Structure 1
Amino acid sequence: MSNETRLDDLDHAIIAELEDDARLSNTELARRVALTPAPCLRRVQRLERAGVIRGYHADIDPKASGRSFEVIVAIDLTINDGQTFVDFEAAASALPEVTELRRMFGQPDYYLRVLVSDHEDYEAHLLNSLSRLPTISRITSHQTMRRVKG
């Protein structure tokens, strides 16, 4: 977000409505935030250009895609320097099963969200992909029992 981008109450209202339903038409969005369509559209476009609104996404049911087995993976690296982080992040990001990658302050160095079809698929992914990522010292897997929020 640009330093010059100041968000007012209308901007926050637009953001809240789009977070709730990104498929709203501009006309409906304008109605909900008490604007006419043209100024509402200009505000949305300004928020997009400023990087406040970074994109619009579909939330896909993992069962429908055959990837309902979720594992949160904690990874520690043996070396903590800039190039190691770059190399690890590039390699981990390239794995389609890794749907989220977070570098952490402290330990572990990274958390990965991995979606696969079942525990056998995860074991194969762990042995053939995750464990071969560069400079890993430890992998700890946590199977998700149930997603409560998010």
Structure 2
Amino acid sequence: MIDRIDRRILAILQEDCTVPVAEIGRRVGLSTTPCWRRIQKLEEEGVIQRRVAVLDPKKVNCKVTAFIAITTSQHNADWLKKFADVISEFPEVVEFYRMAGQVDYLLRVVVPDIEAYDAFYKKLIAKIDISDVSTTFAMEQIKCTNELPLNYVGAEKPREPVS
């Protein structure tokens, strides 16, 4: 069970996973060892899946973000596995969702420019049969975060944001 202290630890780690354990412990009112044990337990339970560095897309030449809505006439496990395998070959695909509604799949793709997107698109359609592809391009990123809201953890009703 994730308690209030675990939520505070998770909030700190989501904001900056390089904060030393001693500093996290100080912020949540624990000494280093109990704080480290809680972090290890959260990792073992899969709450913390991994720790990563968040890069500036412009500084790594991924300036264009495309959202690709895909519709297919194939709705079976074999086709989905093949499609997932194909998508996993493309590092440009940073998010991949199976959807409910009119769109079957949604991809978020990052590339340097429109020409790179066109090359990506041509490689994609050469590898898998898709009924319909509709792409929209982001003009401006207004909010982007990997931080999940923690006010829902262990609660029937939403709680106030963790500070």
TM over 0.5: yes
How far apart are residue 130 of structure 1 and its match? Answer: 2.1
3-state SS of 1:63 partner: helix
Matched, 1:131 2:125: yes
Cα distance between partner residues in 1 of 2:68 and 2:126: 14
TM-score between the two structures when normalised by the length of structure 1: 0.92
Partner of 2:101: 106
Q: Distance in 2 between matches of 1:15 and 1:96?
A: 28
Residue 11 (structure 1) aligned with residue 10 (structure 2): no
Match of 1:143 among 124, 137, 142: 137
Paired letter, 1:123: D
Shift of 1:67: 1.4
Gaps of 5+ in 1: 1-5
Q: Kindly, what percent of the aligned residue pairs are identical?
A: 36
TM-score of the two chains, using structure 2 as the length reference: 0.85
Correspondence for 1:3? none
Q: Cα deviation per residue 1:71-119 (whole Å; 9 max; x = unaligned)?
A: 0111112211111111101101211211111111223111111111111
Report which stretch shifted further, 36-45 or 106-115. Answer: 106-115
Aligned length, in residue pairs: 144
From 58, 62, 85, give the equivalent of 2:57: 62
Higher relative contact order (CA 8 A, sep 6+): 2
Residue 21 of structure 1, CA deviation = 1.1
CA distance in 2, matches of 1:106, 1:84: 19
Secondary structure of the equivalent of 1:41?
A: helix
RMSD: 1.1
- State the secondary structure of the residue aligned to 1:79: coil
Instruction: Check whether the contact 1:84–1:135 (CA below 8 A) recurs between aligned residues.
Output: no
Residue in structure 1 matched with residue 152 of structure 2 by the alignment: none
